[in-house]
Amino acid sequence: MKNKFLLFGVMALFAACGHSPEAQSEKREMFAAGGQKVITSFTDEKHGTMSILYGNAIALRNVLDNTGKVPGEAFTLVTWQQIPNPRWYGTNINGNVKSVETVSILASVHGDIPVVYNLVKGSLPEAYKDPKISSREQADFILSQRPSVFP
């Protein structure tokens, strides 16, 4: 009887969360950029990763005009493990998310424009996993990306 209750309890827990291990393993993950749009994408063949840089409306406008840092800009860099697409030999596709980094440009304080860098998820991309590299340099890497050409 006790076991039955336990079983019910476990089932209720899965039902409540909707995250049974089976459902979870069948799930296909897509990164939700929270309203930000794609600025550009790149792959790092040496470390087997692929990345998309997203930005908010201010960031999109400014990277296109190349105006430098503007308060209100927000960027998100998502880096995935690059894996072979099982349906086509010749294509790699994004796999698990390895890291999510954000950069925000704040309002200027006494002439300085503060840049806030955050590693939101995962560990630093291998390409700049060097203890000598400061978060400022990581932010600069993100801010230095040029936009892809969109029709």
Partner 1 sequence: MKTKNWSVLQKIGALAGVVLVIFLPLQFTTPEITLPRGTGKPETPEKVTSILKRACYDCHSNETKLKWFDKIAPASWAVSSDIAKARSRFNFSDWDKLSPRDQQVLLWKIVNAVIAGKMPLKSYLLLHPEAKITVADIETLKKYVNSLPNNKPASDSAAVVAAMTADQERMNYHGKGGPVIPLPVALNGVSYVTGYQNWQVISTTSRFDNNTMRIVYGNDITVRAIQENHINPFPNGATIVKVVWNKIADKEGMIRAGSFNAAQVMIKDEKKYPRTGGWGFAIFNGPKLVPTGKTALFENDCFNCHKLQASDNGFVFNIPLKNSELAKK
Q: How far is the CB of 133 from partner 1 (least distance, A)?
A: 13
Task: Please name the helix (run of DSSP H) or strand (run of DSSP E) that holds residue 65, with its range, or none.
Answer: helix 57-65
Kindly tell me which of 94 and 102 has the beta carbon lying closer to partner 1.
Answer: 94
Q: How far is the CB of 101 from partner 1 (least distance, A)?
A: 16
Q: How far is the CB of 43 from partner 1 (least distance, A)?
A: 5
Cα 81 from chain centroid?
12
How far apart are alpha carbons 98 and 111 in whole angstroms? 36
Whether the CB-CB separation of 81 and 96 falls below 8 Å is answered with: yes
Kindly tell me which of 14 and 113 has the beta carbon lying closer to partner 1.
Answer: 14
Binding site for partner 1 (CB under 8 A): 24-33, 37-38, 40-46, 50, 52, 60, 64, 80-83, 85-96, 127, 147-151
Whether the CB-CB separation of 127 and 44 falls below 8 Å is answered with: yes
Q: How far is the CB of 4 from partner 1 (least distance, A)?
A: 29
How far apart are alpha carbons 148 and 107 in whole angstroms? 27
